[in-house]
Amino acid sequence: MTTPSVHADINCGAITARYLINEDSGAIGLQLIPTAKLDQVVERRTDLLMEPEIRALPEHWHGIKPWAVDPLVQVCCKGDGLSGGFAQGLTMRGAGTTGALKFVKQEVDKDKDSIRVNTLLENETGLRARHVLNWHQGDSFVRVHTVLINSSEDDRTIDMVSSFNLSGVTPFAPDAACDRLVAHRFRSAWSVEGRLISEPIEQLELERSWSGHGVRCERFGQIGSMPVRGWFPACAVEDTQAGVTWGAHLAWSGSWQLELYRRDDCLSVSGGLADHEFGHWRKTLTGGERLTTPTAILTVVVGDVDDCCHALVQSQNAAANEAPASEQDLPILFNEWCTTWGDPSHDNLCTIADTIKDLGLRYLVIDAGWYRPEQGDWGSAHGDWNPSPALFPDGLAATAAAIRERGLIPGLWFEMETIGPTSEAYGKIDRQLQRDGVPVTAGGRRFWDLRQDECHDYLAEKVIARLRDDGFGYIKVDYNETIGLGADDPDSVGEGLRQHVLGVHRFFRRMRSELPDLVIENCSSGGHRLEPLMLGLTAMSSFSDAHEGRDIPIVAANLHRLMLPRQSQIWAVLHGADDQQRLHYSLAATMLGRMCLSGDIWTLDAKQMDTVRSATAFYQQAAPIIAHGRSHRFGPAVTSYRAPKGHQVMLRESADGSQALLVAHGFAKAPGQVSLELPSGKRWTVRETFADLGSEVYASGTKLTLGGLHDWTGMAAILEC
């Protein structure tokens, strides 16, 4: 067998996409290498492994190869022979179809602004796989997906297909790279989104087996329609010795999986739709039919996990730039959820609007409860979407007009994809997702079947027409349950879920098409849908359902690694009982993203309102840095989010490097004073601060000192150099 060779090196700016090929087997794989470190790639060992335990084997067992090309497309079809090495139940990688797909050709299309690489594979039965890599000038990442095509006349049932497979980690070691690779993942649960988990691969049992026989695989993901539940669909692998980190982020709103896989010297990272074993998904492709996988955003950087995440998150800028014009200066909003708690009315909304109209806010959002039935609970009545005549005697249009008269854009809450048990819509079973012949029901909720055009038309009448006819410019789309495994479909429940999720995306695009100036907020019990595709379909997202907790700045800082702060809406719930320290703690946290006010705003006294006014004025100055910048975190790791200790400092440098935004919080046992050596090495001065009495920020050369960082304090400063 010949030694694998380089088929092509494709320059994608700071990234080089290297395609390795084995001419004998027809296997072709993909590596990403920092262009600046191409000359540091080492020659990998190719001699047969002859460690002592292998030499002790009978001679006819000698001949174990240290590595091989790992195919860039992983496919498993129904009836395939699966990998040995005790892999069944761990992974569907390495199945018979993967090995049978042979390299046919590669086409590279270039112009002055972009590169597109199409790599075609095919097997003897007529199954084709087209692996697509896209890069645009200036991007710090590439986008990858797979198109699977059944070019035969016979049906082919697919049990697994990868969106990407990034192999050859790490090219900077000639061997198995012991004690230098660290896997980074991001845990997520309701109201505690984005906790970074970093583990040496040896702790994950991803060290190669002594003979290369045993498969090592860490397959993880999420099943259902809340893609950020359990884990974010993202991961990174860091070579701590070479100072290089590889990262991947899936753009998909349904069931997904990522896999860290190893059988030889090299680690591979792959992912895409959750497969038949993991996600109950399979799909039959008829003759001529094709399947396009979700897109994966990939990168490699010289740097650590934060450098890698920054490179990946930049992929979200293009969609954010297409948000309505009203969004481009990152305006502040008020959401009355933590004010009325499901009891909004024309009168209390006018009171709120009168209170906030001079604070520099742009949106006032009416949250849940506006459709409360005459008899019954609003919490179970969603689905019919009829405004309450008791709460809005002159209709919603009159309230929206009153809000606009006060210089604000009105917004309206919908949980349009689900149906409450006391609504009339709950009885429309033939329009709902079903599993095993009965409606999918979770926590009392059912789900419209958005594979059906009739459901789209119903929601267009109830949602789009309501927003347009009543004069709303903002919609908060909430989503408070998950579909789980999926829905009845001739192929599989997982395919039923996939088709429904595509229908959800289609309706969001319809809202944007019919109401191009509409601002859409993505909320899913807070942050359960914070993945790149949904982020791209919406203007901003609720960062979490952490409304008033002391953990708000911790969660908000976590999300800098996973989404653009310009799209991350952070709550500050205000009360007349709040002292100045609490007000500064809450309001400073919103500087980590988009400021969203709520609470008993009309109960604040003049001094408290001055503090709020100071915060909104400071935020407006900081907004350009929030919109386009680079974030750095300082401070000890926080273990308990419910009882945090220590402190946290976030520094966000502007895109041009001339300014920076500092946001600091002291938790229990805070140090009082903190000194920081800033990473850029620049000499900074303090231009503006938002801080309580006794809290100050001093700059001296490249050092920054924070004074008065006591327990449960918050402060912010704008620096310039």
For residue 393, give the CATH number of its domain: 3.20.20.70
**203 and 87 within one domain:** yes
pLDDT of residue 58: 76
Alpha-carbon distance of 704 to 717, in angstroms, equals 11
**309 and 263 within one domain:** yes
Alpha-carbon distance of 17 to 134, in angstroms, equals 11
Segment holding 103, helix H or strand E: strand 102-110
**475 and 383 within one domain:** yes
pLDDT of residue 426: 98
What would the pLDDT profile of 49-72 be if each residue is shown by its tens digit? 667 777 777 766 656 788 899 999
Do the Cβ atoms of 474 and 363 come closer than 8 Å? yes
**429 and 395 within one domain:** yes
What would the pLDDT profile of 570-602 be if each residue is shown by its tens digit? 999 999 999 999 999 999 999 999 999 999 999
pLDDT of residue 66: 86
What would the pLDDT profile of 476-496 be if each residue is shown by its tens digit? 999 999 999 999 999 999 999
**297 and 236 within one domain:** yes
Q: Is the pLDDT of residue 1 over 70?
A: no
- The two tokens of residue 187 are 């845990």
Alpha-carbon distance of 661 to 591, in angstroms, equals 9
The tokens 């859409």 sit on which residue?
520
Decide: pTM greater than 0.85.
Answer: yes
Q: Structural domain tally of the chain?
A: 2
pLDDT of residue 503: 98
**314 and 340 within one domain:** no
**For residue 256, what are the β-bridge partners?**
222, 273
What would the pLDDT profile of 207-249 be if each residue is shown by its tens digit? 998 888 899 999 999 999 999 999 999 999 999 999 999 999 9
**314 and 283 within one domain:** yes
**Could you tell me if residue 389 is inside a domain?**
yes
**Could you tell me if residue 676 is inside a domain?**
no
Do the Cβ atoms of 45 and 177 come closer than 8 Å? no
Q: Residue range 196-201: average pLDDT?
A: 98
**570 and 482 within one domain:** yes
pLDDT of residue 154: 95
Instruction: Please list the alpha-helical segments (H only) found in 344-464.
Output: 346-356, 396-405, 453-459
Alpha-carbon distance of 192 to 527, in angstroms, equals 9
**291 and 391 within one domain:** no
What's phi and psi for 413, nearest 5 deg?
-90, 135
Query: Which of 67, 114, 73, 117 has its CA nearest to residue 95?
Result: 73
**DSSP labels for 38-84?**
GGGPPPPP-SPP--HHHHTS-GGG----S-----SS-EEETTPPPPS
**Could you tell me if residue 359 is inside a domain?**
yes
Question: Residue 358: CB partners within 8 Å, gap ≥ 6?
Answer: none
Other beta carbons less than 10 A from residue 251's beta carbon: 22
Domain boundary residue, one of 273, 291, 318: 318
**For residue 539, what are the β-bridge partners?**
none
What would the pLDDT profile of 639-653 be if each residue is shown by its tens digit? 999 999 999 999 999
Range of the domain at 367: 333-625
pLDDT of residue 701: 85
**594 and 550 within one domain:** yes
Q: Is the pLDDT of residue 464 over 90?
A: yes
Map residue 400 onto helix, strand or coil: helix
**373 and 304 within one domain:** no
**Could you tell me if residue 35 is inside a domain?**
no
**Could you tell me if residue 675 is inside a domain?**
no
Where residue 48 falls among pLDDT bands split at 50, 70, 90? low
Alpha-carbon distance of 713 to 716, in angstroms, equals 11
Domain boundary residue, one of 596, 625, 654: 625
For residue 170, give the CATH number of its domain: 2.70.98.60
Where residue 413 falls among pLDDT bands split at 50, 70, 90? very high
Query: Which of 190, 278, 204 has its CA nearest to residue 235?
Result: 204
What would the pLDDT profile of 651-665 be if each residue is shown by its tens digit? 999 999 999 999 999
Do the Cβ atoms of 324 and 586 come closer than 8 Å? no
Q: Is the pLDDT of residue 204 over 60?
A: yes
Question: Residue 37: CB partners within 8 Å, gap ≥ 6?
Answer: 172, 242, 244, 302
Map residue 132 onto helix, strand or coil: strand
Alpha-carbon distance of 382 to 590, in angstroms, equals 30
Other beta carbons less than 10 A from residue 592's beta carbon: 29
Report the share of the chain in percent with pLDDT over 90. Answer: 93
- The two tokens of residue 349 are 């909304």
Q: Is the pLDDT of residue 2 over 90?
A: no
Question: E strands along 600-671, which residues?
Answer: 629-634, 647-654, 659-666
Q: Residue range 701-709: average pLDDT?
A: 93
Other beta carbons less than 10 A from residue 333's beta carbon: 24
**367 and 279 within one domain:** no
Q: Residue range 350-358: average pLDDT?
A: 97
Report the share of the chain in percent with pLDDT over 70. Answer: 99
**Could you tell me if residue 637 is inside a domain?**
no
Do the Cβ atoms of 348 and 338 come closer than 8 Å? no
Question: E strands along 266-368, which residues?
Answer: 267-273, 283-285, 290-292, 295-302, 332-335, 361-366
Q: What are the strands of the beta sheet with 267-273, ordered from one edge?
A: 5-12, 15-22, 27-34, 164-169, 267-273, 256-262, 216-222
**Could you tell me if residue 269 is inside a domain?**
yes
* Three-state DSSP string of 493-559: HHHHHHHHHHHHHHHHHHHHHHCCCCEEEECECCECCCCHHHHHHCCEEECCCCCCCCCHHHHHHHH
Map residue 177 onto helix, strand or coil: coil
Domain boundary residue, one of 577, 605, 625: 625
Alpha-carbon distance of 701 to 630, in angstroms, equals 20
**Could you tell me if residue 488 is inside a domain?**
yes
Question: E strands along 551-702, which residues?
Answer: 568-574, 594-599, 629-634, 647-654, 659-666, 672-677, 685-690, 696-700
